Structure 1
Amino acid sequence: MKRVICFPLILSIFLSCKSKTDDSEQGSSSRLNQSPALIQQFKPMINGVWVKKDYIKKVKKSKSPLEAVDKGRGITVLYIDTAKLTGDSIIVPVILNNHEGSNLTLKFQPGRNTTTITLGKDELSYKLKKDTNLIIYHYNPDTRETNTDQYIKAMDKQPAAGLAPGMNFMINQAILSGRYEGADASGKKITANFTNDGKVTGLAGFTTYYIQNDLITDPDHSHDEIIFNLGTTGQKAYSFIINKKTLSLYDGSEKVKSNKPAFSLKKQR
């Protein structure tokens, strides 16, 4: 009697386990089979250095990275190079909070729907308007809510210096690049040119500039800062204020308070 009851039970368990295994294998196979189609769909759209759209938008509007700190959280820059695709995955370097570097794995496997692929714990998609925008979806399993961030392309390729120049380029272009005329504190007339890629001419002794944007980890800044000749013995930092078309450079916060700029320059174009 015991044998008759036990044998079907064991057989039932075996068949149940086999069925679950087969289902799992079929699901895995189905996901892998989608990879070639997803690679073909996404690959032409996602190459390049991408920067956080809302951050650049607020920097441009306020003419101040300091005012835009609240938008500079999370992934602020990422670089996707599909030439480095291995199987169905790419290692994607990113900058977090405009400060620290990290890497995420982008997999050409479907996310929660057919329009996304997986990026670390998040998901990636894109939309086409006048230009292509990338979209990163952040799903919170606790609240079951999804937040999104959009990214615009800064460059086609990552420079040898890394990811940071992509963000610097977009900030420079948004608020500073151009030709300026004005004078220094002594009244000497100056014509200066600032380029998108951080070059400057017309300011004696200075050849490069960098607008400070790594501010989340150093919240004590009272004013925006521009650094000339960064990383050299001739490095020099100024606080700056952009008011409409006028760029005022101050040699320290006390000079800002007394409104005594070291340089006062008006943008010509």
Structure 2
Amino acid sequence: MKRISYLLLILSIFLSCKSKTGDNDQDTTAAGKPLDQTQALLQQFKPLINGVWIKKDYIKKVKKSKSPLEAVDKGKGITVMYIDTAQLKGDSIMVPIILNNHEGSTVALRFQSGKNTTTIEFGDDELSYKVKNDDTTLIIYNYNSQTKETTTTQYIRALQPKPADGLASAMNYMINHAMLSGKYQGTDATGKKISAVFYDNGKVSGLAGLTTYYIQNDLIVASERSGHDQIIFNLNTKDQKVYSFIINKRTLTLYNDAEQIKSNKPSYTLKKKRE
């Protein structure tokens, strides 16, 4: 009887040691993926992706056409996103985004490999990057399971490292810089000489009673309905003023209403000075 007990004790110790030595050497996440994979992806991506990002082909077309309406076809989907790596929790960051220059939302960015080692999970899509001449471009890959096609969208870093007055302000700043900001000279409807300055941050000087401006870039509201590009001065104040505008080369013309456009009698005709 003592011999049987002794053998059972030896067998118990053997099985216990075998169980311990058979464990995986790597810790894993809840998803079953090695923690060291997450750390490696963090080290690879984190220094490059932090900041505010603007849809590249949209701002490029805005700059070329000098018209948000002309760029409507490029302003679909995610137009702005803000990746703040300080908000990392576990292996994920909730990324604020703007869709269609109209509505806000969030997307989960996870530091887990996508379909290959060059991408990480971004909601139902995947995120990667490329670096050229020290400039980083982010790339979102969207896989269509029905058509089996992959589309890519590129994003460039915004001029503002952090959104000053909400995420939309980063897009406004980029549009102002691409289209309008600078020093102007011209006349108002009465022929009075005007010297005005439009700043990247949406401030304006030299136009009587007008202190701020916003170039309408929401794809869903007023500009599309009116059929004209619009600029709103003193937004959300009792002194708010809306003008339709046309930029032709270096000349900015502001129209009070559709009749002024038809008769070509603008409220302001301003020519941008060369720097």
Whether the TM-score (by the shorter chain) exceeds 0.5 is: yes
Tell me the equivalent position of 1:121: 124
Cα distance, 1:220 vs structure 2 = 1.6
Q: 1:235 aligns with which of 237, 240, 259?
A: 240
- Cα deviation digits, residues 50-94 of structure 1 (max 9, x gap): 110000010111100000000000000000000111111001000
Tell me the equivalent position of 2:6: none
Cα distance, 1:178 vs structure 2 = 0.2
**Aligned counterparts of 2:46 and 2:201: Cα–Cα separation in 1:** 27
**Aligned counterparts of 1:263 and 1:234: Cα–Cα separation in 2:** 18
Tell me the equivalent position of 1:198: 202
**Residue 115 of structure 2: SS of its match in structure 1?**
coil
Tell me the equivalent position of 1:187: 191
**Aligned counterparts of 1:215 and 1:141: Cα–Cα separation in 2:** 28
Q: 1:223 aligns with which of 208, 225, 228?
A: 228
Runs of 4+ in 1 over 6 A off after TM superposition: none
Q: Which runs of structure 2 are paired with 1:25-64 in the superposition (5 Å)? A: 28-64=31-67
- In structure 2, list runs of 5 or more residues that go unmatched: 1-23
- The answer to whether the 8 A contact 2:255-2:266 is kept is yes
Tell me the equivalent position of 2:168: 164
Tell me the equivalent position of 1:99: 102
Cα distance, 1:253 vs structure 2 = 1.8
Q: 1:74 aligns with which of 77, 81, 92?
A: 77
- The answer to whether the 8 A contact 1:31-1:109 is kept is no
Give the letter for the 2:136 counterpart. T
Q: Does 2:137 match 1:133?
A: yes
Cα distance, 1:28 vs structure 2 = 4.2
- Cα deviation digits, residues 8-49 of structure 1 (max 9, x gap): xxxxxxxxxxxxxx9xx8994435431001001111101111
Cα distance, 1:158 vs structure 2 = 2.3
Change (3 A) 1:31 1:220: farther
Give the letter for the 1:228 counterpart. F
- The answer to whether the 8 A contact 1:215-1:221 is kept is no
Change (3 A) 1:236 1:27: closer
- The answer to whether the 8 A contact 2:29-2:35 is kept is no
- Cα deviation digits, residues 113-154 of structure 1 (max 9, x gap): 111111111111111113211111111111111101101111
Q: Does 2:112 match 1:109?
A: yes
Give the letter for the 1:156 counterpart. P
**Residue 234 of structure 1: SS of its match in structure 2?**
coil
**Aligned counterparts of 2:226 and 2:36: Cα–Cα separation in 1:** 52
**Residue 104 of structure 2: SS of its match in structure 1?**
strand
**Aligned counterparts of 1:234 and 1:174: Cα–Cα separation in 2:** 26
Cα distance, 1:213 vs structure 2 = 0.4
**Residue 30 of structure 1: SS of its match in structure 2?**
coil
Give the letter for the 1:48 counterpart. G
- In structure 1, list runs of 5 or more residues that go unmatched: 1-21
**Aligned counterparts of 1:34 and 1:216: Cα–Cα separation in 2:** 42
**Aligned counterparts of 2:119 and 2:35: Cα–Cα separation in 1:** 15
**Aligned counterparts of 1:215 and 1:253: Cα–Cα separation in 2:** 20
Larger CA Rg, structure 1 vs 2: 2
Aligned pairs, number: 245
Cα distance, 1:202 vs structure 2 = 0.3
**Aligned counterparts of 1:245 and 1:121: Cα–Cα separation in 2:** 43
Bigger relative contact order, structure 1 or 2 (CA pairs below 8 A, ≥6 apart)? 1
- Cα deviation digits, residues 91-113 of structure 1 (max 9, x gap): 10000001010011000000111
Tell me the equivalent position of 1:15: none
Q: 1:146 aligns with which of 127, 130, 150?
A: 150
- The answer to whether the 8 A contact 2:188-2:194 is kept is yes
**Residue 33 of structure 2: SS of its match in structure 1?**
helix
